[in-house]
Amino acid sequence: MKTHEPVYYGEYLNLNKLLDCQHPKSKDHGNEAHDETLFILVHQVYELWFKQILHELKSIVTLFSGKTVDEKDLSKVVARLERITKIQALLVDQLGVMETMTPMDFLEFRDLLVPASGFQSVQFREVEVLMGLKTNNRKAVDREYFLGRLNDEDKARIIEIEKSPSLLELTQAWLERIPFTKIEGFNFWDEYEKEIDKMLDYDEKIIHQNQASLDSRAMAMQIENLNATRETFSSLLNEQKHNDLIKLGRRSLSRTATMNALFILLYREEPILHLPYKFLTALMDIDELFTTWRYRHALMAQRMLGTKIGTGGSSGHHYLKMAAENNRVYNDLFNLSTFLLPSSKLPKLPNEVKIKLGYHFNE
């Protein structure tokens, strides 16, 4: 290895710069509020972690942008997504440090910050966009705040990033490419539908068998629930119904992608599907942790502000609580559980497919 100049800890980490970035506004105004330093530092630490999350996400998007995704790359992607989840756990936990500041201590400097707000965290927006929350995927109530509080330069940066494919879009394309469900003389989805019909017919039989113990209203309700379940299944199996739900904003992944994701979940124990299963699980973990952070942050905002509006002009706690509900990126993956079957009821796969799904070594 080539020799190099001795490295000095503080220089390597650029600490002079890093530790000279905390300037409380209250100090400038001649009456320093003790807790403002904590407020600044906590936000800065978040931004540093957002930087690391973006570093991981960008590399994942690059690995997923080719025509195919190599198996080795997929394990790298899963490892990086899992790293993001570890960081997110810290991000949730860190709110507890912020909450050691009391609402009255916050009032000592809060008004000096208006109209700055978390709405202006460009890196947070970048993470959202890279994951798949672009302007068009957002609810109308969110759109105004999404880019509306950014300066022109930051807005232009986000609009530019919106032009490239997000992880949600790339995941969809990858799922659509997954083979295995259709080969000559075998269509997995016909077999799946038969199993579902059997299951639902059996449920209907049970309802009729229990007729004696049910009054007519209870009976009608059970049949109605069963028909709703039939409708849910047909909304997946029928292309038109699935596309209608996409138009209504109730599903986001294409039908082929959704069905292939379901296939991965159903047959996740097959060796070739194990890593894809871990990938989908990691996406759900990230979505869940983001949502957890949003709820936790909304609660903190209530604790600090009560029902007051935010410095960015939203309704504060109320808005943030709604945003947690409205900004789920991989909701479709969570909803796949609706369509699962017990392993014992899974359609048998033809040998030709089984061989493709396993690892077979020849002497």
DSSP class of residue 253 equals S
Chosen residue from 304, 329, 349, 353 binding ligand HEM by CB under 6 A: 304
Under 8 Å between Cβ of 113 and 33: no
Under 8 Å between Cβ of 26 and 36: yes
User: Interface with ligand HEM includes 132 (CB under 6 A)?
Assistant: no
User: Interface with ligand HEM includes 129 (CB under 6 A)?
Assistant: no
User: Interface with ligand HEM includes 275 (CB under 6 A)?
Assistant: no
* Residue closer to ligand HEM (CB basis): 142 or 332: 142
Identify the CA nearest to 161 among candidates 136, 134, 121: 134
Stretch that binds ligand HEM, among 11-19, 40-48, 51-59, 65-73 (CB under 6 A): 40-48
Total H helices, total E strands in the chain: 18, 2
Q: Give the shortest CB-57-to-ligand HEM separation in angstroms.
A: 16
* Residue closer to ligand HEM (CB basis): 305 or 346: 305
User: Interface with ligand HEM includes 150 (CB under 6 A)?
Assistant: no
CA 207 to CA 226: how far, in whole Å? Answer: 9
User: Interface with ligand HEM includes 24 (CB under 6 A)?
Assistant: no
Under 8 Å between Cβ of 330 and 363: no
User: Interface with ligand HEM includes 349 (CB under 6 A)?
Assistant: no
Identify the CA nearest to 251 among candidates 172, 143, 135: 172
- H helix or E strand, kind and range, residue 12: helix 9-12
Chosen residue from 124, 189, 233, 295 binding ligand HEM by CB under 6 A: 124
312: which 2 tokens? 């960015």
Stretch that binds ligand HEM, among 119-127, 261-269, 273-281, 345-353 (CB under 6 A): 119-127
User: Interface with ligand HEM includes 53 (CB under 6 A)?
Assistant: no
User: Interface with ligand HEM includes 301 (CB under 6 A)?
Assistant: yes
Stretch that binds ligand HEM, among 66-74, 173-181, 199-207, 314-322 (CB under 6 A): 314-322
* Residue closer to ligand HEM (CB basis): 117 or 281: 117
- At residue 263, what is the residue type? F
CA 115 to CA 125: how far, in whole Å? Answer: 18
Backbone conformation region of residue 172, classed left if phi is above 0, alpha if psi is from -120 to 50, else beta: alpha
- H helix or E strand, kind and range, residue 186: strand 186-187
Chosen residue from 313, 350, 356, 357 binding ligand HEM by CB under 6 A: 313
* Residue closer to ligand HEM (CB basis): 69 or 84: 84
Q: Give the shortest CB-99-to-ligand HEM separation in angstroms.
A: 8
Helical ranges in 253-346 per DSSP H: 255-266, 271-305, 317-326, 331-335
CA 204 to CA 223: how far, in whole Å? Answer: 7
Residues 6+ apart with CB under 8 A from 13: none
Q: Give the shortest CB-161-to-ligand HEM separation in angstroms.
A: 16
* Residue closer to ligand HEM (CB basis): 50 or 64: 50
Stretch that binds ligand HEM, among 65-73, 115-123, 172-180, 194-202 (CB under 6 A): 115-123
Provide the binding-site residues for ligand HEM, judged by CB under 6 A: 42-43, 46, 98, 106, 117-119, 121, 124, 145, 297, 300-301, 304-305, 310-314, 316, 319-320, 323
